[in-house]
Amino acid sequence: MESHIGVSRKIENEGERQRLRRIVEEFNQKNEGVIVRTAGVGKSRAELQADLEFLRSLWQKIRQKAEGLKGPALVQKDLDLVFRLFRDLFTRDVARLVVDSPPEYERCLEFTESLFPDLRSLLYLYTEDEPIFKSFGIEKEIEKALRPKVWLKSGGYIVVEETEALVSIDVNTGRYVGKHDFEETVFRTNLEAAREIARQVRLRDLGGIIIIDFIDMARQEHRDKVVIELKEVLKPDRSPTNVSLLSDLGLVEMTRKRVKQGLIRSISQACPACGGTGAVRALPSIAHQILREVEWQLYRRKPPQVRIRAHPDVTAWLKAEEAEVIEALQQQYGGEISLAAEESWPPAKYQLQEG
């Protein structure tokens, strides 16, 4: 078998293709084939070397296991979540890996000692009484990640809105107005926002087209520095990103490879009341629609009674605000109109029953 190095055709930048090929050539061994996937775009020499060493170690374990098995037998299956963390995230840049399950901790120890013995000291078994997510503040971070508004330390904030077509991120000064130079205030806010945007993009796993509306800056040097800062803080991102120049309107268009569903879509569902739109019809609008239908029934069908079944807030509104209209309809068409509150119904649901 001859040595082979391949680079994914999806990596179109020729300069990047040559860079990746040169790096892999340094590590490629005799009779070894290597294919660099799109996930390798922008990765450093150390990252690529660590990934290759991991694969070599895994291949040796597979071979050893296969030699001791009698077919048919399972030789290898895809790694579970714990081991995927080791493969993709557990490096010397990690301060520590904390595990709250003794059996999983033992598996981690075994895996580390066989593949990454120098990282053994970074493993810790969590034994406290408080749940691990609560102890490390992860539950609060998850709750924050579900909110559109993210506050900055300076007092400014960003607003993240996801739609089917794109993600919009708006930057605002908020409470931060500075002391003297407003242009400098805007610049500092945008710099801080750029850093937080990079964090939120990774945390929420945002993908596709992302439009960032920075606060308008008058000086070109400030615009350039904000874009440079954004590109710099996005470099550690494992998903490939591309950032455009800052327009005269203060807009930056960037793209990020969408690998899977974002955080919000993966851990939440559409609101049953509004269907995911974030808004429901106002009570007066619902009440007026009900009364239009009641009038139509009284006029066309002439029933002796029409019973309105609806949410308590709707029936309360009809009693308090539309009593004269209801009385006028009863007088005009001769039918009785009654109200029945349904506690379990959403506000927009109602039903008319003829009696």
As a CATH number, domain 283-354 is 3.40.1260.20
> Which helix (H) or strand (E) segment is 341 a member of?
strand 336-341
pLDDT in tens, 164-212: 889 999 999 876 565 567 888 899 999 999 999 999 999 999 999 999 9
Which residue from 102, 99, 65, 61 is spatially nearest to 82, judged by alpha carbons?
99
So what's the pLDDT on residue 27?
A: 83
Partners of residue 6 on adjacent β-strands: 35
pLDDT in tens, 83-120: 777 767 777 778 899 999 999 899 888 878 776 777 88
Partners of residue 336 on adjacent β-strands: 305
So what's the pLDDT on residue 237?
A: 84
* CA distance linking residue 278 with residue 268, whole number of Å: 14
Could you give the C-alpha distances from 101 to 82, 125, 127, 128, in angstroms and in order?
11, 7, 9, 11
Question: Domain boundaries in the chain?
Answer: 1-77, 148-265, 283-354
Residue 1 in this model has a pLDDT that exceeds 60: no
The three state secondary structure string of 304-318 is: CEEEEEECHHHHHHH
Mean pLDDT in the chain?
A: 87
Residue 136 in this model has a pLDDT that exceeds 90: yes
* CA distance linking residue 88 with residue 99, whole number of Å: 17
pTM of the model: 0.67
pLDDT in tens, 21-60: 999 888 888 888 898 887 788 888 888 888 888 788 888 8
